[in-house]
Chain A
Amino acid sequence: DVKVTQSSRYLVKRTGEKVFLECVQDMDHENMFWYRQDPGLGLRLIYFSYDVKMKEKGDIPEGYSVSREKKERFSLILESASTNQTSMYLCASSLYLGNTGELFFGEGSRLTVL
C-alpha cells in the first residue's frame, strides 16, 4: 500500500529556532512536494523536488528551504522559525511529474511557533 510518512504529527517550537520536518515515501516516486495548509487558504506549494538533489520553488518559498539527499526522503527546513509559520505542513509524492499524476499525501505535521 502507498505510504507517505511524516515523522512528527505535532511540534511546538520557539521563535528563531531551526526546524526540520521530515517526510519519507516508500513508493519509489520521483517527485515530492511540501505544501502548507491554512484555514480559508487551502494548500499552497512551498517547494517540490523532481529528483535527488533537485528542487524547485513553489508559490511561497520565502523562509523555507528543502533537502533531498535520497530518493525516498524530502526534508523541509525553517532556518529561523517565526510565528507566521504556525501552520499545518503536508508532504506529498507522485510518480509522474506530468499533468495527470496523482499526489499521495502524508498525514501532516502541525507546527506551532511561540
Chain B
Amino acid sequence: AQSVTQLDSQVPVFEEAPVELRCNYSSSVSVYLFWYVQYPNQGLQLLLKYLSGSTLVKGINGFEAEFNKSQTSFHLRKPSVHISDTAEYFCAVRGFGGTSYGKLTFGQGTILTVHP
C-alpha cells in the first residue's frame, strides 16, 4: 500500500518570494514520484517527475523538487513565484510493479496563492 501526505492545504505567498510545497509519502516498495499542477478551471498537467538518478529534478515553469529517500519526502520548490503560479498542486506516488499498474496515488492538494 502507498499513501501521500501534503503537509499544507494552503500556502499564501507574495510575488517574487520563494516557495516550498511539502510532500511526504509512504510505501512498502520503491516508488516513482510526481508533481502535477491544476490551474483554475483546468485539468491537471505534469510539472515534474522523479524516476531514478539525480535526486534533484527540474520541471516546467522554473519549479524543481528534491527526492529524499531517508525522509520519504519530495518537496517542490521555486525560488521566485509569479502571479501566474497561483494554482493547486498535487503530489503523487506510484510503486514499482505489482498491482500498481498505471495507478497513481495522489495527495490532498496544496493551493498556492500568489499575492501582488
- The answer to whether A48 and B49 touch across the interface, beta carbons within 8 angstroms, is no
- The answer to whether A41 and B108 touch across the interface, beta carbons within 8 angstroms, is yes
A100-B41 contact in complex given A41-B108, A42-B108, A45-B103, C-beta closer than 8 Å? no
Tell me if B9 is interfacial: C-beta within 8 Å of chain A.
yes
Task: Map CB proximity to B onto A72-104 as digits: 1 under 8 Å, 0 otherwise.
Answer: 000000000000000000101010111111110
Shortest C-beta distance, B99 to chain A (Å), equals: 9
The CA-CA distance from A32 to B62 in the complex, in Å, is 29
- The answer to whether A90 and B44 touch across the interface, beta carbons within 8 angstroms, is yes
Q: Which residues of B contact A40 (CB under 8 A)?
A: 9, 108-109
Shortest C-beta distance, A103 to chain B (Å), equals: 7
| Count of CB-CB pairs between chains A and B under 8 Å | 66
Shortest C-beta distance, A110 to chain B (Å), equals: 9
- The answer to whether A105 and B32 touch across the interface, beta carbons within 8 angstroms, is no
The CA-CA distance from A42 to B111 in the complex, in Å, is 11
Tell me if B102 is interfacial: C-beta within 8 Å of chain A.
yes
Kindly identify which residue among B45, B46, B94, B107 contacts A99, using a CB–CB cutoff of 8 Å: B94
B residues contacting the other copy or chain, number (CB 8 A) = 27
Kindly identify which residue among B100, B101, B104 contacts A103, using a CB–CB cutoff of 8 Å: B104
The CA-CA distance from A45 to B31 in the complex, in Å, is 18
Tell me if A50 is interfacial: C-beta within 8 Å of chain B.
yes
- The answer to whether A50 and B104 touch across the interface, beta carbons within 8 angstroms, is no
Closest to A96 in B: B102
- The answer to whether A48 and B101 touch across the interface, beta carbons within 8 angstroms, is yes
A105-B49 contact in complex given A42-B109, A96-B102, C-beta closer than 8 Å? no
Given A40-B9, A96-B102, A97-B102: 19 more A-B contacts, CB < 8 Å: A35-B106, A42-B106, A43-B106, A44-B106, A45-B104, A50-B101, A56-B101, A58-B103, A90-B43, A92-B43, A99-B97, A99-B100, A100-B49, A103-B36, A103-B104, A105-B45, A107-B41, A107-B42, A107-B43
Q: Which 7 A-B pairs have the closest CB atoms?
A: A105-B43, A42-B106, A43-B106, A105-B44, A42-B108, A97-B102, A107-B43
